[in-house]
Amino acid sequence: MNTEYIGIVFMYLATIALAIPLGKYIAKVFKGEKTWLGFMAPLEKLIFKFSGIDPNREMNWKQHLKALLTVNLLWLFYAFFCLLFQGHLPLNPDNNPNQTPDLAFNTALSFVTNTNLQDYSGESGATYYTQLFVFMFLHFVSAATGIAAMMVVFKAMKDKITDKLGNFWDFLVKSITRLLLPISFVIAVILAFNGTPTSYKGKDTVITLQGDTVHVSRGPAAAMIAIKQAGTNGGGWFGVNSAHPFENPNYLTNIVENISIILISISLVFALGYYLNKKKLAWVIFGVMTVGFLIMIFPSVSAEVNGNPAIAHLGISQPGGSMEGKEVRFGPAASAYWGITTTVTSNGSVNAMHDSMMPVSGMAQMFDMMINAFYGGVGVGYLNFYIFMIIAVFISGLMVGRTPEFMGRKIEAREMKIASLIALLHPFLILVGTAIATYVLVHFSNAGWATKPSAWLNNPGFHGFSEMLYQYTSSSANNGSGYGGLTANNIFWNVSTGLVIFLGRFLPIIGPVAIAGILANKKFVPESAGTLKTDTATFGIMIFAVIIIVAALSFFPALTLGPIAEHFSIK
């Protein structure tokens, strides 16, 4: 068991050790300074030339959003139609069928928004074409979209009045060529040498040692698995994601994949410090995020390692902790650690089935997604945190009775309205979604649909409620992990979570970019003795308090009905 603890401590320390230099590097890339990946420049030139784009043409925040939304809309339609007709497209050696319209709707939205809810299973519900040319493509560009939006906010935080906030295409392309693609390449090679398939061959048929006939799904998976981890996407090649022995073959690949879940999200915080030359502020943000992260790690790891009391009552031993839904090669500690890292970021890949984890873990995972800003998704995690900072500044300002200022700009009614709406959107989508689903389940349990609501849940009681709550939480947080027991591939769930995913992605991008753009146009007020310092521990505590009050408390009643009640009911 000791080696399991050492394993997770190592993963975290290695992540931080890599994130600091990577953050410095990212800041250099976006400042336009020279980096050792300068050899990518001709490729970038080619991309811009082919696309007829001048990467040096500066945009204001509205132009940024227009470009972002236009290209995302295009990807949405492209993905939808590919999925609808995937059976007829090339690269389909296993002859998998088309997706139904409601499934294609959900899947397309899910991947465009970096969510990857996956109501299908990769082995039977997708083709090599859609895996590579839809899902993996969107893995790259949806992560790059998040980073591009974040860069607008970074630029706007500089201390001069400006509406020139860089070029969206430039941010998008450089995020890919200088960051996502090189990192994915390294991860993919490591995976390939540890047993993840890379070839384009279809299923193999094998007669096992005992004499059973099995069909073995394969495919060029390593390339995709790399970016699904690094881009906080989470949508895997195989249905069971990184629990699959091809997708995550051993403890080494588990370390690599788990580090890459949170690496870029953390390094972007340090990038902020280097980019704006406000390293103290970056450490305050990192500190708040890390405290939130650690508070969730300990109970989850301890619950999984100690095992399921209900199993203990059956009289057997649990030397490996709670093993339902887990893999022997990872063990309970690394499974719990992954569960937290994948939910604090908006990754959503899994190396164990969350549905079978202990209620304490389930609560921690849902809580992470409800906050959605402890590290958060690449780019967008910081945008969520930015909203909390704005609110914290405003409340602090009210408490001491002066006009709130953030980074030298006055925060006024318009910005606060946007920030409040965005902060309230997340609880609204999750709680209303869950309430409607619960209502339908109770009052129309035998409705004559293809999947009757009474057949939705895989578990009774409190845990069943958690399955629904988790699904909407994961959708709104653009996380994409799920309680796999929920029968989600039907019109009700495909459509309702699809809508939640869509609103939960684009409004929280538009909001912070708008606030930052408006603030950047305001008069710059130099720091004085009366300025609220944002790079202090005091302000860090203030942000933390705002997060707990605004986010956590709105979800507490729902969590009580699900995981908390279940925890106290297990004897």
Q: How far apart are CA 22 and CA 510, in angstroms?
A: 27
Q: How far apart are CA 459 and CA 360, in angstroms?
A: 17
Min CB(247)–other proteins separation in Å: 8
Cα dihedral 365, 370, 372, 374 sign = negative
Do residues 231 and 180 make contact, with C-beta atoms less than 8 angstroms apart? yes
Q: How far apart are CA 491 and CA 86, in angstroms?
A: 20
| 72 vs 534, beta carbon nearer other proteins | 72
| 188 vs 520, beta carbon nearer other proteins | 188
Min CB(137)–other proteins separation in Å: 5
Min CB(441)–other proteins separation in Å: 16
Tokens at 331, concatenated: 């063990």
| 68 vs 520, beta carbon nearer other proteins | 68
Q: How far apart are CA 190 and CA 289, in angstroms?
A: 29
| 222 vs 272, beta carbon nearer other proteins | 222
CA nearest neighbour of 480 among 261, 195, 255: 261
Measured in degrees and rounded to the nearest 5, phi and psi for residue 378 equal -60, 120
Q: How far apart are CA 396 and CA 529, in angstroms?
A: 16
Residue with tokens 């403890």: 251
Do residues 271 and 380 make contact, with C-beta atoms less than 8 angstroms apart? no
- Classified as helix, coil or strand, 410 is strand
Min CB(535)–other proteins separation in Å: 36
Min CB(112)–other proteins separation in Å: 12
- Residue 320: C-alpha distances to residues 149, 248, 260, 364, 365 (Å): 43, 19, 26, 21, 21
Min CB(569)–other proteins separation in Å: 6
Q: How far apart are CA 391 and CA 405, in angstroms?
A: 11
Q: How far apart are CA 85 and CA 73, in angstroms?
A: 19
Burial of 232 (0-12, 13-18, 19+ CB in 10 A): buried
| 94 vs 159, beta carbon nearer other proteins | 94
The number of residues making up the chain comes to 571
| 7 vs 166, beta carbon nearer other proteins | 7
| 226 vs 550, beta carbon nearer other proteins | 226
401 Rama class: left (phi>0) / alpha (psi -120 to 50) / beta: left
Q: How far apart are CA 347 and CA 353, in angstroms?
A: 15
Min CB(257)–other proteins separation in Å: 13
| 139 vs 409, beta carbon nearer other proteins | 139
Tokens at 177, concatenated: 């060529």
| 193 vs 449, beta carbon nearer other proteins | 193
Min CB(358)–other proteins separation in Å: 6
**DSSP states of 519-533 as a string?**
HHTSPP----TTSPP
Residue with tokens 């009774």: 460
Element housing 265 (H / E): helix 251-276
Min CB(156)–other proteins separation in Å: 20
| 136 vs 558, beta carbon nearer other proteins | 136
Q: How far apart are CA 409 and CA 524, in angstroms?
A: 6
| 10 vs 556, beta carbon nearer other proteins | 10
Min CB(157)–other proteins separation in Å: 25
Min CB(8)–other proteins separation in Å: 9
- Residue 202: C-alpha distances to residues 191, 226, 235, 333 (Å): 19, 20, 20, 35
- Residue 173: C-alpha distances to residues 141, 169, 190, 259, 539 (Å): 9, 6, 25, 24, 35
Cross-strand partners of 405: 410
Min CB(195)–other proteins separation in Å: 5
Q: How far apart are CA 493 and CA 118, in angstroms?
A: 12
| 328 vs 400, beta carbon nearer other proteins | 328
| 217 vs 265, beta carbon nearer other proteins | 217
| 460 vs 526, beta carbon nearer other proteins | 460
Q: How far apart are CA 261 and CA 507, in angstroms?
A: 24
Min CB(237)–other proteins separation in Å: 11
Min CB(372)–other proteins separation in Å: 24
